[in-house]
């Protein structure tokens, strides 16, 4: 878990980065921002920068396709700063230049880039120094109401920043440098062009821990049931939902994952279990994320994936059947007289 309640700002630099593909440019400030004398601004900035990370469960690491971390620009400059080989503001300028160089998708928005030196951020029970890099792209208009001559007056401010809506951010925690640091990332844009933040600017990959193992296993099993099993078995929608429900129940009730136990209790078919293992291996090879046959189940990852596990059968536009268990209480068939498919449900009580 990540906590910032005791964190403090040490330094802050702000630059502006345009879209290189649109022939926009970057503007680098000459000096850092002095915020230590202001009583309110640090708290507002801490809320703006840090609050989105309170729900960040996945921990990433820097990497480089050539397996040389020194070629990763963000890793290189932050490491230089952590080791005292480069001044903070110089590092922030280099990071802004690098962000500009990778901002080549035509839909990437220009925006301010904030680079922050932090102390006393807590990750996984330990306090560390950290570097934060944040980008604001979307601006809003705000109304301001204030007392005036026995009444009130009204004004507005355009192109203002909503401190509850951070667009992009990353916190680089000063620990495990040789492994690529511990890195937390936020990207609220959720658009195809936004992948540049993680893939091009940061070059990060998820750390293969219990959270990642749990989430990947649930994700792969869901795709396996929905996309792969039909090639070998004739499954009805209720069968697929039952398999998914059983897997989710397994992860919610067990403390540890055991591959053999999962295949026996959840999949329950040697041929299907063999297909699933092959499906896992293909995923692991494609995404370079090997699976472990045993690991501790991470409850936050289960909770996160549960929202994507659908247990509903949609029938035309008239009915939805929510299936939470008791697969043998559902029957399906075809009514020749009406020329329609049907489901038959058995139950004990109605509420």
pLDDT value of position 193: 54
Residue 129 has pLDDT above 80, yes or no: yes
pLDDT in tens, 132-152: 999 999 888 989 898 888 899
Long-range contacts of 278-285 (CB under 8 A, 24+ apart): 279/220, 279/223, 279/224, 279/228, 280/217, 280/220, 283/216, 283/220
pLDDT value of position 296: 94
pLDDT value of position 319: 83
* Mean pLDDT of all residues in 145-173: 89
Pairwise CA distance, residues 180 & 192, whole Å = 26
Residue 192 has pLDDT above 60, yes or no: no
pLDDT in tens, 238-253: 888 888 999 999 999 9
Residue 36 has pLDDT above 80, yes or no: no
pLDDT value of position 234: 79
Domain boundaries in the chain? 2-135+165-206, 210-308
More confident residue, 97 or 350: 97
Cβ neighbours for 277, distance < 8 A, ≥ 6 positions apart:
259, 263
pLDDT value of position 159: 84
Query: What six digits make up the tokens of 286?
Result: 């494609």
Cβ atoms within 10 A of the Cβ of 92, count?
A: 28
- Mean of per-residue pLDDT scores for the chain: 89
Confidence of residue 314 (pLDDT cuts 50, 70, 90): confident
First to last CA, the chain: 40
pLDDT in tens, 209-223: 888 899 999 999 999
Confidence of residue 286 (pLDDT cuts 50, 70, 90): confident
Task: From 261, 239, 198, 254, select the one nearest 331 (Cα to Cα).
Answer: 239
More confident residue, 230 or 20: 20
pLDDT value of position 191: 60
DSSP element (H, E) containing 252: helix 237-253
When mean pLDDT is compared over 118-122, 147-151, 342-346, the highest value belongs to: 118-122
């Amino acid at each position: 878990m990540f906590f910032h309640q005791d964190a403090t700002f040490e330094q802050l630099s702000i630059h502006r980065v345009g879209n290189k593909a649109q022939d926009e440019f970057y503007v680098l400030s000459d000096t850092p921002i002095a915020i230590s004398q202001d009583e309110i601004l640090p708290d507002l900035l801490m809320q703006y920068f840090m609050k989105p990370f309170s729900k960040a469960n996945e921990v990433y690491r820097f990497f480089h396709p050539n397996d040389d971390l020194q070629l990763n620009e963000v890793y290189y400059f932050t490491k230089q700063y952590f080791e005292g080989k480069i001044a903070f503001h110089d590092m922030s300028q280099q990071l802004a230049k690098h962000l500009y160089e990778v901002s080549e998708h035509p839909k990437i928005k220009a925006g301010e880039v904030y680079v922050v030196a932090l102390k006393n951020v807590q990750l996984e029970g330990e306090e560390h120094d950290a570097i934060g890099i944040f980008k604001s792209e979307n601006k809003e208009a705000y109304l301001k109401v204030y007392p005036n001559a026995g009444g009130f007056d009204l004004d507005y401010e355009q192109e203002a920043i909503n401190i509850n809506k951070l667009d992009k951010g990353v916190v680089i925690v000063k620990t495990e440098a040789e492994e690529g640091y511990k890195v937390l990332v936020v990207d609220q844009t959720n658009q195809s062009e936004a992948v540049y933040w993680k893939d091009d600017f940061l070059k990060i990959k998820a750390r293969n821990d219990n959270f990642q193992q749990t989430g990947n296993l649930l994700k792969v099993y869901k795709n396996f049931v929905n996309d792969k099993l039909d090639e070998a078995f004739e499954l009805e929608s209720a069968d697929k939902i039952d398999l998914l429900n059983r897997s989710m129940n397994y992860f919610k009730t067990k403390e540890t994952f055991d591959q053999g136990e999962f295949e026996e209790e959840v999949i329950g078919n040697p041929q299907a279990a063999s297909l699933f293992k092959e499906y896992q291996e293909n995923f692991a090879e494609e995404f370079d994320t090997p699976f472990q046959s045993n690991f501790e189940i991470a409850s936050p990852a289960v909770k996160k994936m549960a929202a994507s596990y659908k247990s509903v059968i949609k029938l035309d536009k008239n009915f939805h059947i929510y299936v939470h268990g008791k697969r043998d209480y559902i029957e399906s068939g075809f009514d020749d007289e009406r020329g329609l498919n049907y489901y038959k449900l058995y139950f004990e009580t109605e509420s």
